[in-house]
Amino acid sequence: MEQAAAAAAAGGFKAQPLKRSILDGPTFKPHKEKHETTVPKSPLLRTKLRSHSGNPEDHRQQQRPQSQAKERHGSASRPGSAGRQSGGLTQPQPFRLQTEARGAHYQDELAARLAAEEARAKRLRRVTARPLPVTIDVPAVPPKPDKKPLTLPDPFELKSLSRHEEFEEKRRRQLQEEEEAAQRAAQFKARPVHAGGPYVVHESDAPLTVPVDPELATEHRAVDRHEFDEHVNERMREQEVERLRRAELKRRQDEEAVRQYRKKLRFSARPMPSFEHPYVHNPPRSR
């Protein structure tokens, strides 16, 4: 307070008084509607209706208060819902499956097959007596049957048999001819004696045949081979001479290099200078 009075006396800052209405809170209050507490209810599912096994009338009486409460709460928002009535329970129908149809068809076939087997077994169980023969005068020993001739098999008419017979006949004739020819050749027949003079050889005017040596390709190849060998030997001799020349040149170069190296290694002192005639420098005289 003393500081505020000192500041007011000095003519400094002066704050305005605070309004008390600011501390009282807002001048208006928002309007809040009071709602009833929400009561949780389970939804009405069709599964519950289908799974219910009781009387539909009892179930409808139990659900009637709930449906009336729904109508009271939702009558303002859903017009016309008061006159709607809930229908009856949905009755489940079995599915029409192909497996059931196939099963029924199989059962029918099985029943028909069993009935047919039963009828066949019944027919087999029925006894039927054989009829009596026309006469009962049967001898104790039955007569022997008549003997029938044995069946003789006929040979097959094969072409191979006829061809075999032809071949045998041809071979027989050939052997007979060879035997007759051998007998004729074995008989001795002397040639008749020559009744004329002796045979005289006449001189021939044809020149004598001079044999000529054939020109064989081996000889030409031998000549070519000899020339080739000569060329090869000459080339080898030239290569040997060149090799010896290079070896001699290399030996001389090595000897010269060794001689020069030894010459460099030899120590030779320079001779002493002679002082008998000393050198006197005579500068030119100035004029």
pLDDT at 75: 47
Average pLDDT, the chain: 81
Alpha-carbon distance of 24 to 19, in angstroms, equals 10
Q: Say how far residue 217 (Cα) sits from the centre of its chain.
A: 63
Helix (H) or strand (E) holding 46: helix 46-51
**Band of residue 276 on the pLDDT scale cut at 50, 70, 90:** confident
pLDDT at 17: 83
Residue type, 33: E
Lowest mean pLDDT among 68-77, 171-180, 191-200: 68-77
**Band of residue 79 on the pLDDT scale cut at 50, 70, 90:** very low
Read off the pLDDT of each residue in 128-132 and give the average, rounded to a whole number. Answer: 78
Read off the pLDDT of each residue in 184-208 and give the average, rounded to a whole number. Answer: 85
pLDDT at 255: 96
| DSSP single-letter state for residue 52 | -
| DSSP single-letter state for residue 10 | T
pLDDT at 167: 96
Structure tokens at 92: 């489940």
Read off the pLDDT of each residue in 89-107 and give the average, rounded to a whole number. Answer: 91
> Over 50: is that where the pLDDT of 198 sits?
yes
Residue count of the chain, please give it: 287
Read off the pLDDT of each residue in 30-50 and give the average, rounded to a whole number. Answer: 80
